[in-house]
């Protein structure tokens, strides 16, 4: 029997920095079973939007709903949402196993498809002892192993080796079974390969792309 | 509740390097000035009122990323700081008792 589908919606999000509209009149929709990509230039407000949906940023008129019910701040609802920030998810000096345990995940199980990572992430090792890309990948895999209903990933591919990007993409596709995934990254190709729905954040507005690759090329976000 | 205490222990350890010197200063000040040691409650209130608002503000400004883990654990910053205030007051009370005992010797 297929899992019940859940819908995350966010709208009314208006954010200004230095009297400039960073986000205005945004409507975003993510369903479980989908990978939704959020693309845009540096400083276009992608991280701000993710943080607002997660509930970490208070925006007066914002509305975030799951299945029609308000869930603000969403992070307070156990099992509902996990968020990978651009910066480290946990302190760099904290043991990986400790962080994973706090998040309710077995590090060994989270890294099951990544034997090389398992060797690096031995008991007691910390993020500070790993390369930036490896640390990033481990954080992403730990969050994915939580199986939250919705997963917000801010630059999960950043610094990650190409071979691991392919494996991570496969994992993301598989995770759709139990989660709705909203992700943003500057590596457009792997994002487009894995995404079911693509939004472009431009001039503070969110645009749903029907032909993502062609439209991104036309707008100068992808090379010809 | 047990989970909250477990998480609080982790968070308190991360801010202990900031709160401990303040507690030491608050305890040492009466001794250095040659005045009797005030009650632990008075010291705790003075310490919290004088330093914690600035501490919470500065951490929010300069180390905002430290809250991401805890938000992923469904805890808001105010829930962490409420626990830190209670734990820190308990620690200050224990240190106060110890100091009062040593002064009386």
Nearest CB to A89; choose among B6, B10, B72: B72
pLDDT at B26: 86
> How crowded is the C-beta side of A151, counted as CA atoms within 13 Å?
28
Which residue among B10, B14, B72 sits closest to A83, beta carbon to beta carbon?
B72
Whether ipTM exceeds 0.85: yes
Question: Which chain B residue has the Cα nearest residue A84?
Answer: B68
- CA–CA dist A209, A52 (Å, integer): 22
- The residue-averaged pLDDT of A197-223 equals 93
List, for residues A3-56, the tens digit of each pLDDT value: 689 999 999 898 888 888 888 879 999 999 999 999 999 989 999 999 999 999
Contact B4/A76 with Cβ under 8 angstroms? no
pLDDT, tens digit (0-9, with 9 covering 90-100), for B58-92? 988 888 889 999 999 999 999 999 999 999 999 98
A77-120 pLDDT per residue, tens? 999 999 999 999 999 889 999 999 999 999 999 999 898 888 88
Q: With contacts defined as CB-CB under 8 Å, which chain A residues touch B14?
A: 91
Q: What is the mean pLDDT of residues B25-37?
A: 85
B chain contacts of residue A55, beta-carbon cutoff 8 Å: 71
Contact B69 A87 (CB under 8 A): no
Residues 6 or more apart whose CB falls under 8 angstroms from that of A38 comprise A28, A46, A49, A50, A182, A183, A184, A199, A201, A206
**Across residues B5-14, what is the average pLDDT?**
94
**Can you tell me the distance from the alpha carbon of A89 to that of A99, in angstroms, rounded to the nearest whole number?**
9
The arithmetic mean of pLDDT across residues B3-14, rounded, is: 94
CB-based contact A102 B69, cutoff 8 Å: yes
**Residue A158, exposed/middle/buried by CB under 10 A (0-12, 13-18, 19+)?**
middle
CB contact under 8 A, A91 and B69: yes
CB contact under 8 A, A56 and B67: yes
Contact B74 A82 (CB under 8 A): no
Of residues A73, A88, A102, nearest to B10 (C-beta): A102
Range of the domain at B6: 2-104
Which residues from chain B sit within 8 angstroms of residue A90, using beta carbons? Answer: 68-69
Cβ-based contacts of B74 with chain A (< 8 Å): 75-78
- Taking alpha carbons only, the member of A202, A203, A217, A171 closest to residue A35 is A171
Residues 6+ apart with CB under 8 A from A29: A7, A8, A9, A36
Using a CB–CB cut-off of 8 Å, the residues of B that contact A are 6-7, 10, 14, 65-69, 71-74, 76
Q: Name the minimum distance, in Å, from the CA of B7 to any CA of chain A.
A: 7
Q: What is the pLDDT of residue B42?
A: 86
Looking at per-residue pLDDT, the higher value among B104 and A44 belongs to: A44
Under 8 Å CB-to-CB from B35, ≥6 apart: which residues? none
Return the residue matching tokens 């060994």.
A108
CB contact at 8 A, A178 and A111:
no
Domain total for chain B? 1
Q: What is the mean pLDDT of chain A?
A: 92
Mark yes or no for CB contact A78/B66 under 8 Å.
no
Q: From CA B52, how far away is CA A182, in angstroms rounded?
A: 36
Contact A67, A50 (CB under 8 A): no
Query: Do A83 and B14 count as a contact with CB atoms less than 8 A apart?
Result: no
């Amino acid at each position: 029997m297929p899992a019940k589908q859940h819908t995350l919606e966010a709208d009314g999000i208006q954010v200004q920095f230095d009297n400039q509209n960073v986000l205005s009149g945004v409507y975003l929709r993510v369903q479980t079973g989908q990978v939704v990509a959020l693309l845009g230039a540096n400083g276009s407000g992608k991280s701000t939007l993710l943080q607002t949906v997660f509930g970490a940023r208070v925006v007066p008129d914002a509305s975030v709903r799951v299945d029609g019910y308000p869930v603000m701040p969403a992070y307070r609802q156990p099992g509902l949402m996990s968020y990978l920030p651009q910066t480290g998810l946990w302190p760099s000096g904290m043991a990986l196993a400790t962080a994973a345990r706090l998040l309710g995940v077995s590090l060994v199980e989270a890294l099951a498809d990544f034997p090389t990572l398992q060797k690096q992430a031995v008991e007691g090792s910390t993020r500070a002892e790993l390369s930036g890309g490896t640390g990033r990948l481990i954080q992403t895999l730990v969050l994915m192993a939580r199986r939250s209903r919705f997963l917000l990933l801010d630059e999960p591919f950043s610094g990650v080796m190409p071979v691991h990007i392919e494996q991570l993409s496969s994992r993301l596709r598989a995770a759709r079974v139990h989660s709705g995934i909203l992700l943003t990254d500057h590596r457009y190709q792997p994002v487009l390969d894995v995404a079911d729905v693509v939004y472009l954040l431009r001039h503070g507005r969110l645009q749903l792309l029907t032909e993502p690759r062609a439209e991104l090329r036309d707008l100068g976000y992808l090379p010809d | 509740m047990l989970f909250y205490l477990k998480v609080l222990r982790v968070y308190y350890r991360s801010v202990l390097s900031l709160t401990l010197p303040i507690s030491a200063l608050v305890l040492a000040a009466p001794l250095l000035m040659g005045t009797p040691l005030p009650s632990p409650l008075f010291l705790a209130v003075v310490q919290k009122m004088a330093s914690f608002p600035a501490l919470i503000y500065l951490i929010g400004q300069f180390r905002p990323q430290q809250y991401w883990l805890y938000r992923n654990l469904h805890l808001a910053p105010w829930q962490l700081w409420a626990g830190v205030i209670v734990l820190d007051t308990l620690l200050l009370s224990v240190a106060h008792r110890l100091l009062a005992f040593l002064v009386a010797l």
